[in-house]
Structure 1
Amino acid sequence: MNYLAHLYLSDADDHHRLGNLAGDWIKGRLEHHTLPDRVLDGARRHRFVDSVSDRHPATAVARSYLGPDRRRAAGIILDMVNDHFLVRHWDDYASTPLPRFLDNAYGSLERTRALWPAGGERMMERMIRDDWLSSYGDLEIISMALERIAMRMRRDPGLGDTLPLLRREYVALEEQFHRLMDDLRRELHPR
């Protein structure tokens, strides 16, 4: 799952949201960190969500739609595409309108700025400033974001030129997103 899904699957308090969003930058054993307990609880949630998502049957099926030439990039592509589907189907999953949810989530992150883990500060700053998450509803934005990620890599693992593939497999990927999200929601009982 990607940024919006992690925020959605988080508890509503500031520290838990930070930990769940920034879990990729909180490395190693959590008990060795001096972060507040709720940030660490959020990081645990992040790891749990990633673990369930990575081994979920819907993810395996979705990976197959991306083809063997995108095997190494499939995780990144699916993370971004799942956030796209979450934006598109937000009203099916949340009672709070997306703009209000994002205002609250961005506010939580701003209030915890002093705790942002090293490596994530610049990304979180840009995500808030440019409101990345609401733009994820546009599939072309997802494709452009994947291409920008590819440009930062030494060699593109298959992130470039994804738009035709995503359009072709859209309905099939969307179905797998719903299977995964429904199971995660049942597991975590979010708001």
Structure 2
Amino acid sequence: MNYLAHAFLAGPLSSDRVGGIAGDFVRGPLDPLPAGIGPLLGAGLVLHRRIDAYADTHPAFQRSRTRVSVQRRRVGGIMVDLFYDHFLAVHWRRLAGNLPGESALESFTANTYRLIATHPEPLPPTFCEVFARMAAQDWLASYRDPASVALALDRIGEYRLRQPNQLKGAGEELLENYAGFEEDFMAFLPDALAFAASVQRERFRAQDPGRADMD
């Protein structure tokens, strides 16, 4: 999953949302937590990783990966992550319209940036470098535009992958099979929401065996 989907699936708990956004910037095992990572952020990072693992095995996500062209199949997961952020942004009112104070995508993204900026625990230095640009340019809401998805994929390929850049021009594949990717996303999201909620309930039961649900 990419940034917007992780933030959405994390739910209302601020530390889970921050961990969802920052998760890709922490490498290595989380037990014990790396130096400098507090327990609140750590729990959000664990949720992030479990959601990623769940997505990789979900039939709809796997189906989306097969829709990616053969020459880009190796980076298909990255592409589908960005494509799913696009559909979440496009259908935000329909999928997240009942979120208090966040029924508009821009409200959700503004709140998310605020939660990150005010998080009481230290954040990964590499993430802090990126976060300033993310908030200033509102990356999360920008995924609503296919051109922004295409630009993001080009940049990921340029800065994070070995050459030749297999992600260059990958945004075109979203438009070439738009309905298919959209159908997969709509099948995936309800299951992913249920899974994320189950992980959070599991965590809270472990913290307080007599408490079945979050307050």
Q: Tell me the distance in 2 between the aligned counterparts of 1:25 and 1:59.
A: 23
Map of 1:59 onto structure 2: 61
CA-to-partner distance for each residue in 1:127-171, whole Å, 9 max, x for gaps? Answer: 111111111100011111111122223314521112332211000
Please report the TM-score for the alignment, with normalisation by the length of structure 2: 0.82
- 1:6-25 equivalences under 5 Å are 6-25=6-25
CA RMSD, 1 decimal:
1.8
The runs of 5 or more residues in structure 1 that have no matched partner are none
Given the alignment, which residue of 112, 115, 118 partners 1:105? 112
CA drift of 1:113 comes to 7.6
Q: Tell me the distance in 1 between the aligned counterparts of 2:29 and 2:172.
A: 40
CA drift of 1:20 comes to 1.8
Distance 1:163 1:36, change over 3 A: closer
**Residue 41 of structure 2 corresponds to residue 39 of structure 1:** yes
Q: Tell me the distance in 2 between the aligned counterparts of 1:113 and 1:68.
A: 45
Q: Tell me the distance in 1 between the aligned counterparts of 2:165 and 2:76.
A: 9
CA contact (8 A) 1:72 1:157 kept: no
Map of 1:163 onto structure 2: 171
The higher-RCO structure (CA 8 Å, 6+ apart) is 1
Letter in 2 for 1:162: A
Distance 1:151 1:113, change over 3 A: farther
Distance 1:63 1:180, change over 3 A: same
Runs in 1 of length 4+ with deviation above 4 angstroms?
none
CA drift of 1:116 comes to 1.5
CA-to-partner distance for each residue in 1:10-64, whole Å, 9 max, x for gaps? Answer: 1323322221211122222223225332211111110111001111111111111
Given the alignment, which residue of 118, 143, 150 partners 2:157? 150
Count of residue pairs brought into register by the alignment: 190
Given the alignment, which residue of 182, 185, 191 partners 2:190? 182
Q: Which is higher, the Rg of structure 1 or of structure 2?
A: 2
**Residue 181 of structure 2 corresponds to residue 173 of structure 1:** yes
Map of 1:141 onto structure 2: 148
The runs of 5 or more residues in structure 2 that have no matched partner are 201-215
Q: Tell me the distance in 2 between the aligned counterparts of 1:161 and 1:24.
A: 23
Q: Tell me the distance in 1 between the aligned counterparts of 2:14 and 2:164.
A: 35
Q: Tell me the distance in 1 between the aligned counterparts of 2:136 and 2:71.
A: 34
Letter in 1 for 2:141: S
Q: Tell me the distance in 2 between the aligned counterparts of 1:139 and 1:104.
A: 23
Please report the TM-score for the alignment, with normalisation by the length of structure 1: 0.91
CA contact (8 A) 1:90 1:98 kept: yes
